[in-house]
Structure 1
Amino acid sequence: MFTAIGLSAGELLTAAPAAAEPAAPLKSVGTQLPVDDLRAIELDEARGRLYIAQGVGGGLPLVVTDLDGRLLNRVTAVADISDLVLSDDGRILYAAQDFNRIVALDAATLTVIASYPAPPGAHLYTVEPTGDKVVGGFIDAGIGSGGLLVWSAPGIPPVVYTEGPNYHPIIDASPGAPGLLVAGDTGYSPVSTYVIDVAGDSPRIVGRRDHTGSNLIDYAVSPDGTEVVETVGYPYEHHSYRLPDLADATVYPSGVYPQDAAWSADSSTVAIGRASTATGDADVYLYAKGSTVPTYAVDFRNGDSLWEGTLLVNRDGTRAWAVSSTDPYQETQLLHSFGPAHPPKPPVTDLAVTAQVGSGKDKSVAQLTVTWSSPIGDDNYWWITASTNGGAEREFWRGKLDASRRYTLTYSLPRGTTTFTVRYRDYWQFYPDGYATAALQR
């Protein structure tokens, strides 16, 4: 037996729980890193450091900055690095060097303490420790295929493993699942994702899932070892899979082309990176593990694109880092730092104008100097107007807010009081409007 209860439409609407609203994105302006190139970045929160690899071939050294991107050290003894990662206990920094070896550095002193040479014909470019093994990903340079190199110790030849990904492997591991490695090939589609146990003498596949997407970019295994977030070009969302069976877990919405993912060390928070976003549209979301509604969002300026593989999150998910670039050739490397406990660096418009009357025969000519410190960029323009005795403003010049930060010009002064106003307005409405004035009497 049951009792019917009548509710009006208004009462039903009142009783229904409100849907959670996603966080409104905060604006972030990056700070140029002290590097010439960038291939990988790693967080050492305990020591207050970021480690940056600048790539192979140019002799560029390992760069160490503080957590705000200020230079601490250039480790010239360790150059030509394509990838780097901190060991689970934070004592060793592993670096893939010169495409032919992995070096282990004492993280406290940044001195080399061990080397893991790759066999001839293996073009080694990435590194990941798991359990008591060190694993490198390689592409074919004469050895016959791509695959994985698994070292048990320095000085011992690695196991060459090609039964999983064997073209251009992407790999990740977790302290919560020692001895397990998540791997897949980038460079062709559809993607097959593998979970490989490398703890024994011979690696073995313990999980495999085919057709997990197209154009693999990255894997991010949660530090508790329970799931892996996959970043692929399609579909336009970040799928996560349980470990080790790769069953469906949470789908973290992206809405646009996925670009990156990273976890906090306590596995409470996952950062999701997005590509091809516009101003006002988040470049990075922070999600609580298992949630589909972001708790935090940050927006870079239009044309400022997240660099793949650069998302980092601190231990408890209260601060994150990312690198972006403002040009298609990635000649800028802008560090963003943001999070619930660390507000991002906001956009600021700083613009000024000074004016003085010339002397002698030039006393009827105004000498004007326009200066600026932010924003800087060839797609940003200032313009200047003149108004005499309260009359209408007339624009008479405009210029770029370029790296010179200064422009001088002249203006023929009529009799009376002339007010000069320099203005800036961001077409994308990311930077605030700015203006400054100066007045002269003739």
Structure 2
Amino acid sequence: MRLRGIALGGLALITMVSTGVVLAGSSSADEPELLKSVGTQLPVQDFRAIELDEDRGRLYLAQGAGSDLPLVVTDLDGVLKTKVPAVTGASDVVLSDDRGTLLVTQDFDHVTAVDADTLVPSARYDAPAGACVYSAEPAGDKIVGAYVDCGIGSGGLLVWSTPNTAPVVYTGGPNYHPVIDASPGGRGLIVAGDTGYSPVSTYVIDVSGATPTIVSKRDNTGSNLIDYTLSPDGTEVVETVGSPYEHHSYRLPDLSDATVYPSGVYPGDAAWSGDSSTVAVARSNTGSNDADVLFYAKGSTTPTYAVDFRRGDVLWQGTLLVNSTGTRAWAVTYDDVYQNTQLLHSFGPSHPPKAPTTDIDISARTGSGKNKSTAYVTVTWTSPMSRPGGSTNQQFLRVYASTDGATERLIGNPELTATGTFTTTYALPRGTTTLTARYTDFENWYPSASPTTSLTR
């Protein structure tokens, strides 16, 4: 899968109801329990793409296309391990078929091969002038890049046989804004199509020879192409499109119909496990308590696992990854207001997601001297918090006071911002006053909470 969603925004030349599958809890024997994931902030400044290296226990994060921001390496939980200052300004990163080399697309003009063990650059594949390359795929013994026109005359594919040599420029297939994918079992075949206009034509192209050759083509495979993901065994490709609202897959090499994996609006991504046994499909934006990612066994239309992201956390297209056995997956979301918070979610049958918790506390003290009948109340929290500027995601709590069991009085109604603290005062009547901070999520996503404290006058 090699369209990296809004990751292409750094290249100025590139412009770019919830229905269907809805799971809330475990409503039937055919529906898995819907698990919630809050994610963890990634250590990046300008995220673009992500790649999984399960053998080395790493995630590679491309950032800052066309800038001096380095490639970032984390562990499988998103904790920073190192940065690679020799590799900067990346729009894409992908491992070679033998898992020994990273291919990093840099500065929209070349692809750098990086030794995955040492993280030292080992080779370079330059694009011709006027071909802004933004993603790359290993395909057999070739490297294939997807480029858009920035002076060369059209978009298309670049096919390198060796580093430091001119690539074959191919425009016989997609030639506007290509989306490409390949896999180790594909034996030099790539799946490709154009995004940016509809309907979509999907191609299977053989790049193993001196000149790329179209093996098969299928027109009208949907509208608004987002991504392709080819199974590692090379037998089936899942297409993600804006319409229809489901994930169709096609057999290779003839693109005949295979399975339709239900997903509902809005399709956002798909990914295969390394053993081709499991496909995960994702939706780009859903309401609360709707499935954002669904796992399917290959060829099945019944989901086996489902995960929900918080409303306002939008899937970053092209970031869904699945491990070798289909037991753990990763995805990146961004907030739908400023797109400046990238959260890493990790989940799967063998790896429970980071679940939402409600951490709110209340404390109080009396003043001294003339203020001894005044309660100084402090409420603190770390979770939940409102999204910045996101009115549909604002979270509030109510602070009440009740003396000797009398009716509660509202004394505060703060928004749960990142500040994490609310203070107020209250004139204490005689008796024992119970102060309570009550939180209920109107979206029923975070757990309710009602911590208390008491003062006696």
The alignment's TM-score, normalised by the length of structure 2, stands at: 0.91
Aligned to 2:327, which of 296, 301, 318?
A: 318
What is the aligned-residue RMSD (CA, Å)? 1.1
Structure 1 residue 405: Cα displacement: 1.3
Q: Corresponding residue for 2:15? A: none
Aligned to 2:55, which of 35, 46, 58?
A: 46
Q: Corresponding residue for 1:192? A: 201
Per-residue deviation, residues 119-164 of structure 1 (Å, max 9, x unmatched): 0000110110111100100000110100000000001110000000
**2:416 maps to 1:401:** yes
Tell whether the 8 Å contact from 1:233 to 1:258 is kept in structure 2 after alignment: yes
Q: Corresponding residue for 1:421? A: 436
Q: Corresponding residue for 2:400? A: 385
Give the Cα separation in 1 of the matches to 2:223 and 2:434: 59
Tell whether the 8 Å contact from 1:260 to 1:272 is kept in structure 2 after alignment: yes
Q: Corresponding residue for 1:21? A: 30
Tell whether the 8 Å contact from 2:285 to 2:313 is kept in structure 1 after alignment: no
Give the Cα separation in 2 of the matches to 1:194 and 1:387: 70
Aligned to 1:77, which of 59, 68, 86?
A: 86
Q: Corresponding residue for 1:250? A: 259
Trace 1:121-270 onto structure 2 (pairs within 5 A): 121-270=130-279
**2:295 maps to 1:286:** yes
Structure 1 residue 401: Cα displacement: 1.4
Aligned to 2:281, which of 272, 283, 305?
A: 272
Tell whether the 8 Å contact from 2:358 to 2:446 is kept in structure 1 after alignment: yes
Tell whether the 8 Å contact from 1:325 to 1:331 is kept in structure 2 after alignment: yes
Of 178-187 and 404-413, more deviation after overlay is shown by 404-413
Q: Corresponding residue for 2:368? A: 359
Letter in 2 for 1:251: V
Tell whether the 8 Å contact from 1:20 to 1:293 is kept in structure 2 after alignment: no
The alignment's TM-score, normalised by the length of structure 1, stands at: 0.94
Give the Cα separation in 2 of the matches to 1:39 and 1:242: 30
Q: Corresponding residue for 2:384? A: 375
DSSP 3-state at the match of 2:250: strand
Give the Cα separation in 2 of the matches to 1:302 and 1:218: 23
Give the Cα separation in 2 of the matches to 1:435 and 1:251: 45
Letter in 1 for 2:337: P
**2:306 maps to 1:297:** yes
Per-residue deviation, residues 50-109 of structure 1 (Å, max 9, x unmatched): 001113134221111111111111212211100110011110000110000000000011
Q: Corresponding residue for 2:115? A: 106
Letter in 1 for 2:200: V
Q: Which runs of 5+ in 2 are unaligned?
A: 1-27, 388-393
DSSP 3-state at the match of 1:231: strand
Aligned to 1:62, which of 63, 71, 77?
A: 71
Q: Percent identity?
A: 66
Letter in 1 for 2:438: R
Structure 1 residue 20: Cα displacement: 5.9
Tell whether the 8 Å contact from 1:238 to 1:258 is kept in structure 2 after alignment: yes
Give the Cα separation in 2 of the matches to 1:434 and 1:64: 37
Tell whether the 8 Å contact from 1:37 to 1:333 is kept in structure 2 after alignment: no
Structure 1 residue 209: Cα displacement: 0.3
Letter in 2 for 1:328: V
Q: Corresponding residue for 2:347? A: 338
Give the Cα separation in 2 of the matches to 1:108 and 1:243: 33
Per-residue deviation, residues 181-208 of structure 1 (Å, max 9, x unmatched): 1000000000000000000110000010
DSSP 3-state at the match of 1:361: helix
Give the Cα separation in 1 of the matches to 2:337 and 2:136: 27
Q: Corresponding residue for 1:9? A: none
Relative contact order, CA 8 A, sep 6+: which one is greater?
A: 2
Per-residue deviation, residues 340-360 of structure 1 (Å, max 9, x unmatched): 111111111011011111011
Tell whether the 8 Å contact from 2:59 to 2:74 is kept in structure 1 after alignment: yes
Give the Cα separation in 2 of the matches to 1:44 and 1:265: 11
Q: How many residues align?
A: 424
Give the Cα separation in 2 of the matches to 1:213 and 1:130: 25
DSSP 3-state at the match of 1:232: strand
Displacement over 3 Å in runs of 4+: none
